[in-house]
Structure 1
Amino acid sequence: MDWKVLLDSGESHQKNTDRSVFDRDFDRIIFSHPFRKLQDKTQVHPLPEHDFVHNRLTHSLEVSSVGRSLGRTVGAVILQRHPDLEPFFSANDFGLITASASLAHDIGNPPFGHSGEDAISDYFVTNKDLLETDFSEQQWFDLINFEGNAQGFRLLNKSGYQGLRLTKPTLAAFTKYPRPSKVADKFKPRRSQKKYGFYHSESEIFKSLAEDLQLHSLAEEQWCRHPLAFLVEAADDICYHIIDLEDGCNLGLISHEDTVALYAQVIGSKFDAAKLKTIKSKAEQIALLRAMSIGALIEQSVEHFLANEAEILSGVYDISLTDDIQAKEALEEIKNVSIHKIYRAQHVVEIEAAGFNVLNGLLESFVPAVINQSTISKKQSVAFRLLPEDVKTEIKTCADQYTALRALLDYISGLTDSNAMSLYRKLMGISLPSMR
């Protein structure tokens, strides 16, 4: 793979302009409707009463900030190594592409986090008999394996969402898993093939993207990552490892002493216990260590990316950067502690269970109404009328059931936690409209 091709937006691009095409990508994501919804979507601790606990929006902004730092720092060295890029691109372009892709990385996540993905997938697994249409194998795997990454790619390319029209480098950097849902798993040990990144409905869009950027092909409909996707993944890994730990400490799920010890392992020789004690506030102590940990991980990730640049461009390197850096063992310990003390905390499990039931209830009401348009019952007709007008119009004009279900899932997965709960209560008769 060649950097000049990988960074080609397909549009006129001038270095050091006041607003480049990559600036435009960032702005379009910030002002998009799907991105704004992230303010009411679960990160780990759902619907928190505490103002210091993260939701999907604050997480995405932080990942974008880390991504920008990673991209700019890497870009500065890449430009030195490849002088032929200098007339066309700046380190800021690398930073903007990585920041934009990082900003959008969770845009396809449904309500209630990963339990929402599981709930959507499980509905189709357990209700196959209700779906009379014979879907293609690829379409069926899409439905029974709902994937936030693929949903995000769909939203970023869907004209109904204000026509984002992002550049190809940003879309490619966003796609951490450049493959469809159903493959032979020949390349599964590769990190880029662990999940999938686009639905059958967007397969031609990604194929065209991969051809234009000359992404290295592994097999039919399977490609190596765009190199900057490694930095987007690293930015996400750094933030959720380090910041989820801070949230866990602030909520009392992990002791202050244990949190300090975990951060100290990441920081290494720069950790100064005596200096830390001069800070009176324990929350400020943790905030300082969190910042130092992020800084250390950015430095290590940049160094490792640059050391493996040739292997990344050739498609040989296919490991998560944070699984291969100096602090990998410290990060693994943080992950293990977080699983047992944060992600399996009682209130997290309770809301996951509730979210599972909410999404299953929505699908039980809406899917039959969508797939039985020609013989719709009165109950199904009432449910269908509850859908927004634009969603109903789109479903009615769909050529087949797979496309209609994709439109429905765009709506359901796009609901915020609060919207999903409110709609579920109305459908179940738990909440009735007030009479005026």
Structure 2
Amino acid sequence: MEWKTLLSPHRVGSSKPGVISQDRSPFQRDFDRIVFSGSFRRLQDKTQVFPLAKTDYVRTRLTHSLEASSIGRSLGTAVGVFICREFDTAGGQPSDVGAAVAAAALAHDIGNPPLGHAGEEAIRHWFTHSPVAQPMRNMMNDDEAADIERYEGNAQGFRVLTRLEMPDQPGGMQLTCATLGAFAKYPCASRVETKPSGVAGKKFNFFRLEQEFFKEVAESTGLVQAGPWAWQRHPLSYLVEAADDIAYRIVDFEDGQRLGLIDYSELERLFLEIIDSERSAEYVATIRSPIRRAEFLRAQVIGRLVREVSQVFIDHHDELLAGTLPKPLLSYVGCQEPLRRIESRSTRDIYNHRKVAEVIGAGFELVSGMLDIFVPCVNEMALEAVGGKTASFRSRRISALIPDMEENLGCEQWRQSGYYRLMHVLDYVSGMTDSYAVSLYQKLKGISL
């Protein structure tokens, strides 16, 4: 791969040529479009770790995304200095690299359904276990079914960016190919003959409905093709992944300490082990408040990891351009032992905390329950639209809650394709905030009005 194409300013779905201008970077414009979108705004009420938290401190997906974006900008700008010095970037500046990574990191969770990763798993579980889902599965080919069986927030995010936001223009938000390439940590379809190398083949990043948009991204940026509908990673996606990894691993640990799940003394010991600075150890001892101490140490840890990850990127640059680096960048930094202990402790006492598990367990019932309600109603409406049995009053009223129902009834693809209808229902459910999903489900079940 080559940097002059990897930093492509071409906008997906646009017929106008992309240009990198010095007054306002096209990647800054990507960032701004994402910030002002409704899908991004709804992240303020979506789970990061603690679903439906009653405290005003813990982070949501919105604050996590902003923090990951800030880290991503630092990483991108740091490696951008090296890239622009050593390679032809077709006019790109270090700040352009930082802006592209920042925009991609800002959007990295934009497709996540309510109640975190439990929402994704609930959709997969519903599709393979609910009697309501079986007739839908029978209407789909294997490629379509794989999209739902392996349902991915990453692929839903790409769908949000290229179709659901600004739906009246081709390519949706029409972000640059460089930003969308960096966004795609798993650049392949759900069912492929050959997966991308290493960790890039762990999941998938686009549904069949958006595969042509991703092909446009891949061709414009010059990604290496691994097989049909599969490409090797854009090098900047490793930085987006690292920004996310640093943000959740370090900041979630800080949240756990703030909520009393982790002792401050343990946080200080592990963070100082990463920082590895006598000066920082001496200074933190002068801070009276444990909260301020934790904030200072967290900032120092992030700074240290940003420097190390940037150097890892430069050291492995040839592998990144070939698309063959097998592991995330954070796996190559020197402070693996304290990072491992932080991850182990977080898994045991934060991510598997009883309060988290209780809400996530309820989330399975909530998401599955809503799909059991909405899908039969939508199918009844589709059957009536093709001259079949008249839909019930209940189905009419409930399906009216789904956006654009009148428009969809006039669309032949929507009437004929179970896959297309189900994706439309999943767009609605995935876009819900945690609070709205709980409130709507309670109303649909007659629990509250």
TM range (shorter): over 0.9
**Alignment correspondent of 1:77:** 82
Alignment equivalent of 2:212, drawn from 182, 196, 204: 204
Whether the aligned pair in 1 keeps the contact of 2:234 and 2:323 (CA below 8 Å) is no
Distance in 2, Cα, partners of 1:223 & 1:294: 31
The letter for the 1-side match of 2:221 is L
Cα distance in 2, alignment partners of residues 161 and 176 from structure 1? 23
Indicate the residue corresponding to 1:28 in structure 2. Answer: 33
Other-structure match for 2:315: 307
Aligned-residue sequence identity (percent) comes to 42
Separation of aligned partners in 2, 1:122 and 1:202: 23
How far apart, in 2, do the equivalents of 1:236 and 1:217 lie? 25
TM-score (norm 2): 0.91
Secondary structure, counterpart of 1:243 in structure 2? helix
1:50 deviates by 2.2
1:109-167, CA deviations, whole angstroms, 9 ceiling, x for partnerless residues? Answer: 00000111111111111134332643111110111221000000011001554631101
2:43 corresponds to 1:38: yes
Q: Per the alignment, do residues 277 and 395 of structure 1 end up closer, same or farther by CA in structure 2, a change over 3 Å counting?
A: farther
Work out whether residues 245 and 334 of structure 1, in 8 Å CA contact, stay in contact via their aligned partners in 2. Answer: yes
Q: Match of 2:226, SS?
A: strand
Separation of aligned partners in 2, 1:392 and 1:258: 57
Post-superposition offset of 1:256: 0.8
CA distance in 2, matches of 1:312, 1:137: 32
The residue number in structure 2 matching 1:13 is 19
Give the superposition deviation at 1:168. Answer: 0.7
Q: Distance in 2 between matches of 1:230 and 1:160?
A: 25
What one-letter code is carried by the residue in structure 2 that aligns with 1:167? T
- What amino acid sits opposite 2:192 in the alignment? V
Cross-structure match for 1:290 = 298
SS of equivalent to 1:181: coil
Gaps of 5+ in 1: none
Deviations 1:23-76 (A, max 9, x none): 111110000110000000010012222222100000000000000000011101
Match of 1:165 in 2: 174
Match of 2:4 in 1: 4
Q: Which residue of 1 aligns with 2:386?
A: none
Write the mapping of 1:250-269 to structure 2, written as runs, cut at 5 A.
Answer: 250-269=258-277
- Find 2:70's aligned residue among 60, 65, 69: 65
In the other structure, the counterpart of 1:426 is: 443
Cα 1:254/1:152, change in 2 over 3 Å:
same
Q: CA RMSD in A?
A: 1.7
**Could you tell me which amino acid in structure 1 is paired with residue 379 of structure 2?**
I
Measured in 1, the distance between the counterparts of 2:211 and 2:20 equals 31
Contact 1:121 1:145 (C-alpha < 8 Å) held by counterparts: yes
Contact in 2 for aligned 1:21/1:167 (Cα 8 Å):
yes
Please say which of residues 126-135 and 109-118 is displaced more in the overlay: 126-135
Question: Would you say the 8 A contact 1:384–1:392 is kept in 2?
Answer: no
Instruction: Give, in whole Å, the separation in 2 of the partners of 1:395 and 1:298.
Output: 50
**Retained in 1: the 8 A contact 2:270–2:342?**
yes
What SS does structure 2 have at the residue aligned with 1:218?
strand
Which whole-Å CA distance do the structure 2 matches of 1:99 and 1:161 have between them? 21
Letter paired with 2:116: G
Give the counterpart of 2:407 among 387, 393, 403: 393
Q: Post-superposition shift, 1:327?
A: 2.0
User: In the alignment, what sits opposite 1:47?
Assistant: 52
Q: Deviations over 1:276-306 (max 9, x none)?
A: 2211000001001100110011001000001
- Is the deviation greater in 423-432 or in 232-241? 423-432
Write the letter of the residue equivalent to 1:411.
Answer: Y
Q: Tell me, in whole angstroms, the C-alpha distance in 2 between the residues paired with 1:226 and 1:219.
A: 15
- Structure 2 residue aligned with 1:137: 142
Distance 1:271 1:424 in 2: 53
The offset of 1:317, in angstroms, is 1.4
CA shift at 1:331, angstroms?
A: 1.6
Give the secondary structure class of the aligned counterpart of 1:158: helix
With 336-345 and 262-271 compared, the bigger mean Cα shift is at: 262-271
Q: For 2:277, what is the secondary structure of its paired residue? A: helix
The yes-or-no answer on 1:102 pairing with 2:117 is no
Match of 1:56 in 2: 61
Unmatched segments (≥5 aa) in structure 2:
11-16, 384-388
1:114 maps to which of 112, 117, 120:
117
Cα distance in 2 for residues equivalent to 1:392 and 1:256: 56
Shifted more, 257-266 versus 361-370: the winner is 257-266
Q: What is the CA-CA distance between 1:386 and the residue it aligns to?
A: 2.6
Greater alpha carbon shift after TM alignment, 51-60 vs 374-383: 374-383
Distance 1:396 1:367, change over 3 A: farther
CA deviations over 1:64-111 (Å, ceiling 9, x no partner): 0000000011101111112x33x6111110011000000000000000
Tell whether 2:376 aligns with 1:368: yes
Aligned pair count reads: 427
Question: Does 153-162 or 282-291 show the bigger shift?
Answer: 153-162
Check the 8 A contact 2:8/2:18 in 1, yes or no: no
Contact 1:33 1:161 in 2 (8 A): no
Residue aligned with 1:131, SS: helix
Counterpart amino acid of 2:275? Answer: I
Contact 2:9 2:20 (8 Å CA) reproduced: no
